[in-house]
């Protein structure tokens, strides 16, 4: 690289903030990136032999650290990890040897991800506030697709293009991270990406139209947990009653007792004549007993937004329901972090499924590492904010 004509100004003294944060950041790194422990884990899992040319622990660390580097294109992801290893180990690795080692370390990456996830969730200090404090957690399932090399179309079939890789996750608002992760081809619908249950008792589940399924809704509600989801345009459940602005309940049925569905009830004016609707509806699904749920309509930007939920009417107004659903945006930000900040959007030139798995697992571990660092920095900032400032020294006046 060309030399700078003018040297950069270096600070004349050490930054006090760096001195305060350095031990906490160092501890966060050591929690996850201990090369000797990782090397011992690789031996225990049979990924390497005791006397190996490469240090497995440093190789894993190199892959994780490479997720934070910004390469020119996706072809450099594996190359970045190899170069980082050479810097850590003071060695000159071979292309084929490095690739073979990386593929052997897949079970090590999986084990580390499982352990790091459980450790993070067990000690996550998150607290739900406001209306959300009534729930054990707020859990948001969602999926995110990544472009792949067309050579992988036979393994990971896509929808918008020939090859896509999809990550399915359940995001915890309390923990600020994913509690469960599953992978699939991009063509797999979100509703099949994550298995139903086990449901967290007392939690609130928020999901979008991709997870809309009456059977899943009923199963979660009887866990018991609460559910809030968007109602599909074509959904047409039976309407049992409509509630006015003062809470007066109006049963809805034809004169002969025939049940009325949502489209008929709204089209023929059987519900209350008001912009905001609050209804009791009956949900049915194969293998489940019928369930009475709540359908809410809240106008927004000239369009009617319909929600299906189990949130009690006595505690949550229709406006509260619509506002709480906006919490689902947190999972979008979480996936955006996965895509851009950790180079999961830079896997499209990897044509080997096993190499792709290594890169993805390394990025997910890097995500947990960044969460550890962020939590450490937040803890320091919170402690300093709670410490009262020192009293000003008394002014010294000349006699």
Q: Report the distance separating Cα 344 and Cα 363, nearest Å.
A: 7
Q: Which two tokens stand for residue 266?
A: 């709204």
CA-nearest of 306, 350, 358 to 60 is 358
Per residue in 362-380, pLDDT tens?
999 998 888 888 877 877 7
CA-nearest of 142, 305, 321 to 227 is 321
Distances (CA, A) of 88 to 58, 82, 102: 7, 10, 16
User: For 185-199, what is the mean pLDDT?
Assistant: 84
CA atoms within 13 A on the CB side of 283: 25
Q: Which two tokens stand for residue 232?
A: 């599909």
Whether 61 has a pLDDT exceeding 90, the answer reads: yes
Per residue in 64-118, pLDDT tens?
998 888 665 445 788 889 999 999 988 888 989 999 999 999 999 999 999 988 8
Evaluate whether 97 touches 160 at the Cβ level (below 8 Å): no
Q: Report the distance separating Cα 398 and Cα 88, nearest Å.
A: 60
What own/partner pairs with CB < 8 Å and gap ≥ 24 does 321-325 have? 321/228, 321/296, 322/296, 322/298, 324/131, 324/132, 324/204, 324/206, 324/228, 325/206, 325/228, 325/230
pLDDT score recorded for residue 12: 56
Whether 342 has a pLDDT exceeding 80, the answer reads: no
Average pLDDT of the chain is 85
Whether 238 has a pLDDT exceeding 90, the answer reads: yes
Distances (CA, A) of 327 to 168, 209, 308, 397: 18, 15, 15, 57
- Whole-model pTM: value is 0.83
CA-nearest of 9, 360, 348 to 151 is 348
Query: Which residues make Cβ contacts (< 8 Å) with residue 27, sequence separation at least 6?
Result: 376
- Phi, psi dihedrals of residue 284, rounded to the nearest 5°: -130, 140
Evaluate whether 342 touches 68 at the Cβ level (below 8 Å): yes
Per residue in 273-321, pLDDT tens?
899 999 999 999 999 999 999 999 999 888 899 999 999 999 999 999 9
DSSP alpha helix (H) spans, 67-188: 76-89, 95-104, 106-122
Q: Which residue shows structure tokens 């809410």?
A: 296
Instruction: Using a pLDDT cut of 90, give the percent of the chain over it.
Output: 42
Q: Which two tokens stand for residue 44?
A: 């225990």
Is 76 in a helix, a strand, or coil? Answer: helix
Per residue in 223-237, pLDDT tens?
999 999 999 888 899
Instruction: Say what the alpha-carbon torsion angle 302, 308, 312, 314 is, to the nearest 10 degrees.
Output: 30
Q: Report the distance separating Cα 2 and Cα 5, nearest Å.
A: 9
Helix axes 353-386, 16-32, angle to 10 degrees: 140
Q: Report the distance separating Cα 209 and Cα 307, nearest Å.
A: 10
Whether 6 has a pLDDT exceeding 50, the answer reads: no
Looking at residue 341, the DSSP 8-state letter turns out to be I
Helix axes 95-104, 76-89, angle to 10 degrees: 100
Evaluate whether 166 touches 184 at the Cβ level (below 8 Å): yes
Q: Which residue shows structure tokens 């809704």?
A: 217
């Amino acid at each position: 690289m060309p030399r700078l004509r003018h040297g950069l100004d270096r600070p004349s003294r050490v930054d006090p903030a760096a001195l305060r944060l350095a031990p906490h950041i160092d501890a966060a790194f050591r929690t996850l990136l201990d090369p000797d422990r990782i090397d011992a884990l690789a031996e225990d899992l049979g990924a390497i032999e005791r006397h190996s040319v490469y240090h497995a622990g440093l190789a894993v660390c190199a892959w994780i650290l490479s997720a934070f580097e910004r390469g020119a294109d996706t072809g450099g992801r594996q190359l970045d990890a190899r170069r980082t290893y050479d810097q850590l180990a003071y060695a000159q690795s071979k292309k084929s040897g490095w690739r073979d080692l990386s593929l052997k370390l897949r079970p090590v990456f999986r084990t580390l991800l499982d352990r790091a996830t459980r450790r993070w969730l067990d000690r996550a200090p998150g607290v739900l506030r406001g209306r959300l404090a009534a729930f054990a957690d707020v859990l948001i399932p969602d999926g995110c697709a990544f472009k792949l090399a067309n050579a992988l179309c036979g393994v990971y079939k896509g929808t918008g293009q020939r090859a896509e890789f999809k990550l399915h996750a359940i995001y915890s608002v309390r923990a600020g991270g994913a509690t469960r992760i599953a992978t699939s081809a991009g063509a797999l619908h979100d509703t099949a990406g994550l298995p139903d249950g086990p449901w967290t008792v007392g939690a609130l589940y928020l999901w979008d139209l991709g997870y809309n399924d009456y059977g899943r809704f009923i199963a979660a509600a009887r866990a018991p947990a609460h559910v809030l989801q968007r109602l599909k345009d074509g959904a047409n459940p039976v309407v049992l009653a409509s509630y006015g602005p003062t809470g007066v309940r109006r049963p809805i049925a034809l004169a002969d007792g025939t049940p009325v569905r949502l489209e008929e009830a709204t089209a023929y004016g059987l519900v209350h004549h008001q912009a905001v609707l609050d209804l009791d509806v009956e949900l049915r699904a194969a293998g489940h007993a019928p369930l009475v749920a709540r359908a809410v309509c809240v106008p927004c930007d000239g369009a009617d937004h319909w929600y299906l939920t189990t949130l009690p009417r006595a505690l949550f107004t229709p406006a509260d329901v619509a506002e709480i659903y906006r919490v689902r945006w947190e999972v979008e930000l979480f996936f955006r972090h996965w895509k851009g900040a950790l180079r999961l959007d830079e896997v499209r030139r990897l044509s080997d499924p096993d190499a792709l798995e290594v890169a993805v697992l390394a990025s997910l571990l890097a995500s947990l590492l960044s969460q550890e660092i962020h939590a450490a920095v937040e803890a320091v900032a919170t402690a300093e904010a709670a410490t009262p400032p020192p009293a000003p020294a008394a002014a010294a006046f000349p006699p």
